Amino acid sequence: MKFFALLAVSVTWCLLIYAARDFPDFAVPDSPANGGKVSNYFLEKTEENSHVPNVVTAVLADYRGYDTMFETVVIFTAGIAIMAILRMTPGGSTGSGALPPAVPRRKRTFDGSELIVSGTCKLLIPIIQLFALYVIAHGHHSPGGGFQGGVILGASFILLAISRNLDAALQRLSEKRYLMLASVGVLIYAGIGVMSLLLGANFLDYGILSQILPATDAAMARSHSMLGVEVGVAFTVSAIMFAIYANLSTAGELKNGL
């Protein structure tokens, strides 16, 4: 069996190396990535279409809005699937039909009262969260955006759960609250799309929103809706990241985690 696996892997490797010879070299001016019609259009027209200096964010949130919306839905679905597999019901049986644990649960020995660890994290967590909000809000002017900022925001809650205990983090972001945040994020994104649909344009065609946003032209409406969309992505991603951690570290029991 191992021989066939090795054979399959080596044949695929040879094919990939053979195909890689057709790639353009680094920094060739007329390769599709550098000088194609599409990327030149984005580079030239983004500033004019939406006043957004960071072209990557403009492509992700505006030109390819569908892609990013369903990426957010994928994150949401992954989190819901992990909860469906791991989360215990209050009666004591697991959600997926009372499977016994494969290995005995380990006990956490660190109770979160160490001065240096808790003091450092108490100082760090607000700064991490502030930085996450900056990454979200400034995503279309500098590298970053809803996804990265959301992950950093979720990581700050994970740090709180690790440095003290899971209860401290769950007090601030309870199960009900993170499920609600995750759904609200997808709702914000899809809602902005539906709003432009209701005003008579295509789904996620933000330019038309200048009719209801005060004192904006079509380009600025695109920029502002990109911010709204990024906020939606950040809601979902941060809530789901914390939810995955809380369920994975406690095997779905949501107490005495890592």
Partner 1 sequence: MIPSFDIILLILLVVTAIVSLRVRDLLSATMIFGVYSFLICLLWAEMGAVDVAFTEASVGAGVSAVFLIATVFNTSRNSSD
154 binds partner 1 (CB under 8 A): yes
Residue 241 contacts partner 1 per CB under 8 A? yes
Backbone dihedral angles phi then psi of residue 94, each to the nearest 5 degrees: -75, 165
258 binds partner 1 (CB under 8 A): yes
Using the contact rule CB under 8 A, the part of the chain among 111-119, 139-147, 197-205, 208-216 near partner 1 is 139-147
For the chain, helix, strand, coil in percent to 5 are 70, 0, 30
Please tell me what DSSP assigns to residue 206: G
Q: Are 149 and 135 in contact (CB under 8 A)?
A: yes
Burial group, residue 196, by CB count within 10 angstroms (0-12, 13-18, 19+): buried
Closer residue to partner 1 (CB): 72 or 210: 72
Nearest CB to partner 1, comparing residues 127 and 198 = 127
Minimum distance between the CB of residue 180 and partner 1, rounded to whole angstroms? 21
Quick one: which of 95, 68, 77, 127 has its CA closest to 240? 77
Using alpha carbons, select from 178, 188, 211 the residue that is nearest to residue 65.
188
53 token code pair = 């200096």
46 binds partner 1, rule: CB under 8 A: no
What's the one-letter identity of residue 90?
P
From 26, 90, 97, 100, residue interacting with partner 1 (rule: CB under 8 A): 26
Residue with tokens 């899809």: 190
Binding partner 1 (rule: CB under 8 A), the pick from 105, 172, 177, 255 is: 105
Kindly state whether residue 155 participates in binding partner 1, applying the rule CB under 8 A. Answer: yes
Residue 62 burial class via C-beta count within 10 angstroms: exposed 0-12, middle 13-18, buried 19 and up: buried
Say how far apart CA 153 and CA 182 lie, in whole Å: 13
Judged by CB under 8 A, the stretch of 116-124, 177-185, 203-211, 239-247 that binds partner 1 is 239-247
* Rounded Cα gap, residues 2 and 197, in angstroms: 54
**Of these, 106, 113, 176, 215, which contacts partner 1 (CB under 8 A)?**
106
CB closer to partner 1 out of 14 and 194: 14
Is residue 107 involved in binding partner 1 (CB under 8 A)? no
Cβ closest to partner 1, residue 54 vs residue 165: 54
Check binding of 170 to partner 1 (CB under 8 A): no
By CB under 8 A, tell whether 158 contacts partner 1.
Answer: yes
Structure letter (DSSP) for residue 60: I
Piece in contact with partner 1 (CB under 8 A), picked from 14-22, 149-157, 183-191, 206-214: 149-157
- Alpha-carbon distance 74 to 190, whole Å? 14
Contacts of 190 (CB under 8 A, 6+ apart): 69
195 binding partner 1? (CB under 8 A): no
CB 149 to partner 1: min, Å: 9
- The footprint of partner 1 (CB under 8 A) covers 26-27, 54, 56-57, 102-103, 105-106, 135, 143-145, 147-148, 151-152, 154-155, 158, 162, 241, 244-245, 248-251, 257-258
